[in-house]
A and B are shown apart, each in its own frame.
Chain A
Amino acid sequence: MPYSTIRRNEFIMRAKLQKDWIEGKGLWLLAAIYFGGVGGGLFIASVLVNWRLGLLIAVGITAILKGSAHLMFLTHPWKFWRIFRRPQTSWVSRGIYFVFFFIIFGLAYYFMGGVPLQVLSVFFAFCLVIYTGFVLLASRPISFWNNPLLPILFVSVSIASGISLAEIIHTFSPQDIGNPELLKAAGPWGVSITALLLFVYLAGNFYSSVTAKESLTYLLKGPLALLFYGGVVFLGLLLPLVIFILVHFAMVPSSALAIAGISELIGAFILRYSILKVGMSAPVA
């Protein structure tokens, strides 16, 4: 009998960290959530600054990267069409509709233009960036996720990432952007609003429940603290803000915005990783 298969303390009443959506194949889900956020955020940013190629890149990221990451996550990817069947109750099911309609209307807007298609595609881009928050919110036993601010935080960080990606591409290969000044001005706003929402979200969890507080402790003082402070706070928020300020006062060349963008994109990825990683369900009794 291989004793390694017997795990000590397995049947103890206690709070438990979720692993299904962050370990092993769960990392594909993290990638899918991230690419969905970046794709949807880039689409919204591209519409705001009037950058046509950005629309196509955003749809591509969503269709190819998010889509394949989702398929890699499923144990039966060839049965993915079944996910369309329960939009009346399931946010996962609603999500696949949002992805599907976003790709359709996003491409239609890219090729045909027009206000109705713009409104529809932006609406589904918004749904795309917000629904993953609702998917997590629906896991009621995990108090850290069961927080109404989470979807709003996901929207904010997604749009910030979209702006960052646009900045990076624009820096390395100057694009025909209709309103580059708006793109430059939107960067600090995206990061600042994300920082504010993140603070309120974490503070809310501090006062939410014992398990949510335990998740928070795990994040801020536990094994994830270094990653959180280094990845999310420094790379994702502080460094981009400092660079935005330095560029604003012309202390560094505007090409430094690409560094801010890369830093923000890394931070946004670690933010989602951290949120998934510290999801903890309360003891059953």
Chain B
Amino acid sequence: MHWGMAIDLKLCIGCNTCVSLCKMRNGTPQGVFWNRVLEEEVGTFPAARRIFWPVRCMHCENPACVEVCPTGASYQRADNLVVVDGEKCVGCRACILACPYDVRSLWEGEGNYFPDGLTPFEEQAYKRHPAGTVLKCDFCASRLDEGLKPSCAEGCLTGAIVFGDLDDPQSEVSLALAESRVRLRLREELGTNPSIYYLT
């Protein structure tokens, strides 16, 4: 089992639905984004265009964050998911700086989206995130355990995000990657071997 993702850059329209869904389902605190859609402007007028790059934890096969973590809080599961054990995290932030994808953030335990304090939703959701620890995307591990897809893949309006088992040649993601398209992975030169592929 090796969970992975393929993201079709031609289908992504930068609507940020995946970002909103992730925030809603995972209840990430203010300022913490487990996934983001980065915008890149390419070319010059009149041939200028904008590319949207949905970026989240790449669940690398050789995760730099796990290597530098001094406590073992960041670790890799048997299904290749890279997760953080909040109980073990001391907040040294070494993993944040070692991650080439800028997808980890430290939540100090303060801050809320609305001026009148935490909403009932935030009160419930924030309990899942220990203060003073590093937070990151876990491919919605609890949903995977229930046989569901990660929220971002499930809710993508254009079907740009395809998720599945990279070890299974018949999985949706493997079939998407088998198409004769140019595929790339971000910052491969660092040897991280990410599990998210981008189809261009």
How many positions in chain A have a CB within 8 Å of any CB in the partner chain? 41
Known A21-B97, A86-B70, A90-B69: A76·B90 in contact at CB below 8 Å: yes
Q: Give, as a whole number of angstroms, the nearest-CB distance from B108 to chain A.
A: 7
Interface string of B177-189 (1 = CB under 8 A from A): 0000000001100
Interface string of B184-199 (1 = CB under 8 A from A): 0011001000000010
B contact patch SS: loop
Known A18-B97, A284-B53: A86·B102 in contact at CB below 8 Å: no
Is A176 an interface residue when CB atoms closer than 8 A count as contact?
no
When chains A and B are docked, how far (Å) is the Cα of A242 from the Cα of B98? 40
For A85, give its contact among B53, B72, B93, B114 (CB under 8 Å): B72
Known A2-B114, A2-B115: A74·B90 in contact at CB below 8 Å: yes
Chain B positions within 8 Å of A80 at CB level: 90
Chain A positions within 8 Å of B198 at CB level: 285
Is A48 an interface residue when CB atoms closer than 8 A count as contact?
no
Residue of B36, B90, B91, B106 contacting most chain A CB atoms (<10 Å): B90
* Least CB separation from A12: chain B residue: B39
A contact patch SS: loop
Is B37 an interface residue when CB atoms closer than 8 A count as contact?
yes
When chains A and B are docked, how far (Å) is the Cα of A86 from the Cα of B31? 30
Interface string of A134-149 (1 = CB under 8 A from B): 0100111110000000
Is B38 an interface residue when CB atoms closer than 8 A count as contact?
yes
Is A11 an interface residue when CB atoms closer than 8 A count as contact?
yes
Contact B70 A141 (CB under 8 A): no
When chains A and B are docked, how far (Å) is the Cα of A74 from the Cα of B66? 18
Residues of A in contact with B (beta carbons under 8 Å apart):
1-2, 5, 10-13, 16, 18, 20-21, 26, 73-77, 79-80, 82-83, 85-86, 89-93, 96, 135, 138-142, 279, 281-285
For the complex with contacts A76-B132, A135-B94, 20 further pairs of A-B residues with Cβ separation under 8 Å are: A5-B113, A12-B38, A13-B39, A18-B97, A75-B90, A75-B108, A75-B133, A76-B89, A76-B133, A83-B90, A90-B68, A90-B69, A93-B70, A138-B67, A139-B68, A139-B94, A282-B187, A283-B40, A284-B101, A284-B186
